[in-house]
C-alpha cells in the first residue's frame, strides 16, 4: 500500500499563510503611512502648534489606541515622521554620483538638496515649521545626511582650498543659500523663477567660498 507523503499538506497550506502574513504587513504599513501623513498635515496646517491625538484620529481614520500601538506617544510619532522623511533625503543624497573631486561633489550634492526640497514641499514645510517652534529633534538620518554634505567641505578645508579657512563659516553660508533657494521656490511656486537659478546661485556661492586656484583646477577637469 502506497503511503502518502506527509509534506504535501504543509506545502499546500504555506501559500495561504504567507499570503495572509503579507496582507497583514501591507495593512500595517498602510496604517503607519496614513498616520504619519496626517501628522505631517496637522503640524503644517497648525504652523507647529500642538495637536491632539483625537484630532489626528479623526484626520487619519485610525483610533487613538491604534496610533499609540504603532508609535507609543506623540513624541515617538513625530520622531518616526522625521526619521522617515529624512531617510528619503538621505537616499537622494546617497544616490548622487560623486568622485568628481570635492568641489564638484559639493556642487552636485547642493543641487540635489535643493531639488529634493523643491519637489517635496510638505517635507520642507514640516522641517522649517518645527525649527521655528524650537523643536530639537535629530533622527539618525539627519546626521547621515549632514555627513554626506559636510564631507567634501571638510576635504576642501583640509586641502587649504577655502578662502577664509573657516569651514564652519563656509558650511553656514552654503546652508543659508540652499535653504533660501528651496524656501523661496516653495513659498512662491507661481513666480517665474529662472530655469538655471539654482545652479548659478550655487556656483556663485562656491566661487566666493573657494580659493580661485581650487576653482580653476576643478573647472579644468569638468
pLDDT band at 133 (very low <50, low <70, confident <90, very high): low
Q: What is the pLDDT of residue 217?
A: 62
Q: State mean pLDDT over 52-60.
A: 94
Domains with residue ranges and CATH for the chain: 12-72 (1.10.10), 81-221 (1.10.357.10)
Separation in Å, CA 1 to CA 4, 5, 6: 10, 13, 15
pLDDT > 90: percent of the chain: 57
| Whole-prediction pTM | 0.76
How many whole angstroms separate alpha carbon 204 and alpha carbon 162?
Answer: 14
pLDDT band at 124 (very low <50, low <70, confident <90, very high): confident
Cβ(182)–Cβ(126) below 8 Å = no
Cβ(111)–Cβ(97) below 8 Å = no
Q: Is the model's pLDDT at 160 over the cut of 50?
A: yes
Average pLDDT over the chain, rounded to an integer: 85
Amino acid at each position: 500500500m502506497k503511503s502518502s507523503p506527509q509534506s504535501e499538506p504543509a506545502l499546500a497550506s504555506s501559500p495561504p499563510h504567507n499570503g495572509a502574513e503579507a496582507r497583514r504587513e501591507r495593512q500595517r504599513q498602510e496604517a503607519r503611512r496614513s498616520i504619519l501623513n496626517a501628522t505631517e498635515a496637522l503640524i503644517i496646517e497648525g504652523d507647529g502648534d500642538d495637536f491632539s491625538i483625537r484630532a489626528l484620529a479623526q484626520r487619519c481614520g485610525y483610533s487613538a489606541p491604534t496610533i499609540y500601538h504603532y508609535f507609543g506617544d506623540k513624541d515617538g510619532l513625530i520622531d518616526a515622521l522625521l526619521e522617515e522623511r529624512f531617510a528619503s533625503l538621505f537616499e537622494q543624497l546617497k544616490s548622487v554620483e560623486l568622485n568628481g573631486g570635492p568641489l564638484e561633489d559639493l556642487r552636485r550634492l547642493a543641487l540635489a538638496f535643493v531639488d529634493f526640497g523643491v519637489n517635496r514641499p510638505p517635507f520642507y514645510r514640516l522641517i522649517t515649521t518645527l525649527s521655528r517652534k524650537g523643536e530639537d529633534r535629530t533622527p539618525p538620518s539627519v546626521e547621515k545626511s549632514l555627513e554626506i554634505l559636510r564631507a567634501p567641505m571638510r576635504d576642501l578645508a583640509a586641502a587649504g582650498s577655502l578662502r577664509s579657512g573657516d569651514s564652519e563659516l563656509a558650511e553656514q553660508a552654503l546652508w543659508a543659500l540652499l535653504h533660501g533657494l528651496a524656501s523661496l521656490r516653495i513659498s512662491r511656486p507661481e513666480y517665474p523663477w529662472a530655469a538655471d537659478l539654482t545652479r548659478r546661485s550655487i556656483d556663485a556661492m562656491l566661487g566666493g567660498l573657494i580659493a580661485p586656484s581650487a576653482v580653476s583646477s576643478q573647472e579644468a577637469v569638468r
